[in-house]
Amino acid sequence: MPTLTGFREVVQNLGKVENKGWEFAVNSKNLTGAFGWNTSVNISFNRNKVLALGPNGDPIRSGTGIGETNITMIGQPLGNFFGYRQLGVYRDQADLDASPRTNNSRPGDVKYADLGGPNGVPDGIIDANDRTMIGNNQPDFIYGLTNSFSFRGIDLGISIQGVQGGEILNLSRRFYENLEGNSNNLTTVLDRWRSPEQPGNGITPRANSRTTGLNNALSTRWVEDASYLRIQNLTLGYSLPSALMSKYLLQRVRVYGSVQNLATFTRYLGYNPETSNYEATALTAGVDYGAYPVPRTLTFGVNLGF
């Protein structure tokens, strides 16, 4: 929109999105005697697809903390990650000379796929035209499991929750893997490229490499598996005998302790694979740019029934 109108843009509902899936839930009473055991389990599947975008169907490129990081296209899920596809690192000068590269790439810099020039034909140069879809935050399925046990006034509840599939874009790694001396670093830098004789893991570039190539550009190196399993809640309680409590005009006294977010099992290098710093829009979901970790909370209490 012309800025003289006083508006920067006009938002209209011109798109169509389809969600299809299944949800299943089962509740069971496994044991009902002196020892009680109940189980609740659920699992859900969803497939998200964009059907229409505006009058011409043009893709929507969305930005976060470092410019364009996501792209939404017809026929694809919302908010795909958008960047370069990493092939490895340039092992030596011969590898560099034989590969597509930027004008100032050096051995030890990141090697990217040459996916096409302005006309869609590989041109031997790595630039913005080589960016493509490199992942999405949509999970394969999500699930939960709760078990509750009881025996002679003692009760125990355990809730487990998790996600399988989908990716998360760990933008924090542009700081924690750059080896410029201005922040702490992930242990992945221990396997960085040091020389042709010490190429490392073939993924992490050389130290202090931000000024050459596109080593700090958004790529598949920062896209990680978002799967996790979390012990969401653990609660242990004890109810005092009712016969004893009736002497004090009480129907029930229960003391308990609980732990929220007891443990999370994941391969994600960041604090929380469930996080997103840009939740204001569904077009930039699953981007972690220094999100705060999930706290572990301990609670103790007493329930009184009069």
Query: Residue 14: its pLDDT value, please?
Result: 82
What per-residue confidence (pLDDT) applies to 281? Answer: 82
Question: For 267-293, how does the pLDDT look when each residue is reduced to its tens digit (9 = 90+)?
Answer: 999 999 998 888 778 899 999 998 888
User: Which of the four pLDDT bands, split at 50, 70 and 90, describes residue 8?
Assistant: confident
C-alpha count within 13 angstroms, C-beta hemisphere, residue 272: 16
Residue 280's pLDDT is what?
Answer: 77
pLDDT greater than 90 at residue 97: yes
Asked whether residue 229 carries a pLDDT value surpassing 90, the answer given is yes
Kindly give, in sequence order, each residue whose CB lies less than 8 Å from that of residue 294, ignoring residues fewer than 6 positions away: 261, 264, 271, 272, 274, 275
Residue 221 pLDDT level (bands cut at 50, 70, 90)? very high
Mean pLDDT of 199-227: 90
For every residue of 62-95, DSSP letters joined together read: EEETTEEEEEE-TTS-TTEEEEB-EEEE--SHHH
Amino acid letter at 46?
Answer: N
Measured between alpha carbons, how far is residue 217 from residues 16, 28, 85, 291 in Å?
A: 31, 50, 10, 20
Q: What are the residue boundaries of the structural domains of the chain, listed by start?
A: 1-77+133-171+223-306, 85-130+174-217
| Confidence (pLDDT) at 275 | 85
Query: Is the model's pLDDT at 246 over the cut of 90?
Result: no
